[in-house]
Amino acid sequence: MTLKDQIGFLSKIFAWGEKMKRIGILTSGGDAPGMNAAVRAVARKAMHEGLEVYGINYGYAGLVAGDIFKMDPITVGDKIQRGGTFLYSARYPEFAQVEGQLKGIEQLNKFGIEALVVIGGDGSYHGALRLTEHGYNAIGLPGTIDNDIPFTDQTIGFDTAVNTVLESIDRIRDTAASHERTFVVEVMGRGAGDIALWAGVAGGAQDIIIPERDFDVKAVAEKLRASREHGQKHAIIVLAEGVMHADEFSEKLSEYGDFHLRSTVLGHVVRGGSPTASDRVLASRLGSKAVELLLEGKGGVALGIEKNEIIAHDMLDLFNHKHHAMLDLYDLNEDLAY
């Protein structure tokens, strides 16, 4: 029996059993604006369906440690507008091992938790899949600012992150224009260039440097030089952190001319802040759908949004695919930047 067959078999066993009574919620990996909105949606939807809901602090580390508490409607009150995650998050690589998983299952049994909603990135999904294989249906919600999860147009937190970067770019442009400087603005995103891509287009960047596209520093310098000849004395270059550090890029660029360079690393400020309306609505839709699927006895799936429809994919499929950035935006910026 293949792993996929095993997951499907376990899900059917769950569906044929007694009606589910308790579910758990945890957030894992890097925090993202909208995670609290997702927790709220899962909790409120589950309570509406007559289920008991348990919050798990500090992700899989808290699951293994038994840092678990019963939630009520007040627990998730006034949380939808807050950034970060009030359930906290922690890295726990030990959960990749069977020993760690069995310790987590021991706690699930202790609290009578029959299914789990995991909000995080692909690393978090691996843990959710392992629990489903052990007979505890788990569903993953894409909570990461990086937007690097396959089979979803956007992840929870991405829209807020882009808008945070955009606000910074707008402010930096004022200084760039005042002093006729070129600013290299480094943004988060791990190995994905989506934040840089979207914020760069929206911010009118002179150039966008992302891992998904090869670049030539000399060619960037020539574009800057041509832009100055056309009368544009300042410029913004948006750099994805997965390429290189902003200081390193600036050093390489300065070898081809004096562009009055300054580098700025936005860093973790991009993760924080109150989630946008888009992220709150996305998180709410995903959270509600997760409860519906668990009530149907389904697990081992990850939810996403495609063409404004909430969809579910087998987690195994996600691990065999890679998210692809909207490179047409890159080409668009090339056409618009002078």
Cα–Cα distance list, 46 to 10, 18, 42, 294, 332 (Å): 22, 16, 6, 10, 43
Q: Which one, of 143, 147, 142, lies nearest residue 165 by Cα?
A: 147
Q: Which one, of 202, 177, 206, lies nearest residue 337 by Cα?
A: 206
Name the DSSP letter for residue 80. T
Q: Length of the chain in residues, anyone?
A: 338
Q: Determine the residue type at 22.
A: R
Residue 272 burial (CB < 10 Å; 0-12/13-18/19+)? Answer: middle
The answer to whether 283 and 34 are in contact (CB under 8 A) is yes
Q: Which one, of 322, 35, 16, lies nearest residue 8 by Cα?
A: 16
Q: Which one, of 10, 6, 48, lies nearest residue 297 by Cα?
A: 10
Helix axes 327-336, 194-202, angle to 10 degrees: 30
Q: Which one, of 268, 294, 216, 261, lies nearest residue 52 by Cα?
A: 294
CB atoms < 10 A from the CB of 7, how many? 21
Name the DSSP letter for residue 135. T
Active site residue 207: no
Binding residues for Mg(2+): 122
- The active-site residue out of 31, 146, 207, 279 is 146
Rounded to a whole number of angstroms, the CA Rg of the chain reads 22
Which strand (E) or helix (H) includes residue 14? helix 3-16
d(CA 118, CA 301): 11
Establish how many alpha carbons lie within 13 A of residue 119's alpha carbon, considering only the half-sphere containing its beta carbon: 40
Binding residues: 30, 40-44, 91-92, 121-124, 144-146, 173, 181, 188-190, 241, 262, 268-271
3-state class (DSSP) for residue 303: strand
Report the catalytic residues.
146
